[in-house]
Amino acid sequence: MTSTTNSHVTSDKSHKDHMGTAIKLAKYALDHGETPVACIFVHSITNKIVAYGMNDTNNSLTGIAHAEFMAIEQIKSRFPQDQVGFNQFCSDCIVYVTVEPCIMCASALKQLNLKKIYFGCGNDRFGGNGTVLSIHQDKSTLNHEGTLYEQESIPGLYRREAIMLLRYFYVKENKRSPNPRIKLERNLDKDNFPQINWSQYMSKNLFGQEFGLTNLSHFQTMDDLEEYKIIDWDLIDSHYDTLIDDLTKEINQFKLNEFKRIKI
């Protein structure tokens, strides 16, 4: 059995607030020529951001430079030569990512024993948290303690905003693509959005726990929650020039030596 001592002040930010930060980070990526997918890792005990990541595939010309891997590397850098500490810390983190993790990233997050993954929209081609494969429900993966576990996958937070950022990207020409496509005649659809099949990602029981029993009708009708049906255009059309500096400052304020697991 373990207990935790921590002198951090717990943040009162909500899941929606954290996903909003991830959306801002995705917009920052878009403004800098990258695919607008981003994530943050939040320490579940203190509710503090401890890492962030953006897709870097265009800039690095590396196919595996996905947002989740960028964030994992940030955390790993805090634990040089300490795999046990790294594993324990990851198990206390929650991920907020704008787009459902691909199969590669979903597998990495599952193996790191991350208990919850919140994401905006599904990943129709490569989704590993329910759309294509359900890595989060894989019963053969052992956590770092050698036991089986299932990961909770919660979609739908700022789903339409996440979709719109992707649409912004795909109507533009990606000049760094091996085979750039001319997209001058593509129209930006701001009105039509696909349904969300909640049951692909989570059980009805988990849906009720996360979003409240009064919202269960959305699980059946496969539509967005009321609070997410109207797009926050300011959120996705603003520019966030100081965001990286702000996140870096917040992350650096999290002191690992103030977070300790004590064996009892």
What residues act catalytically? Answer: 68
- Give the number of other CB atoms < 10 A from CB of residue 101: 28
Bridge partner list, 261:
4
What angle do helix axes 67-76 and 103-111 make, rounded to 10 degrees? 30
Q: Rounded distance, CA 58 to CA 77, Å?
A: 23
Contacts of 111 (CB under 8 A, 6+ apart): 141
Q: What is the end-to-end Cα distance of the chain in Å, rounded?
A: 6
What is the SS3 assignment for 62?
Answer: coil
Per the CB < 8 A criterion, the answer to whether 56 and 31 are in contact is no
CA atoms within 13 A on the CB side of 210: 22
Nearest alpha-carbon partner for 124 in 181, 162, 175: 162
Q: Report helix, strand and coil shares of the chain as percent, to nearest 5.
A: 40, 15, 45
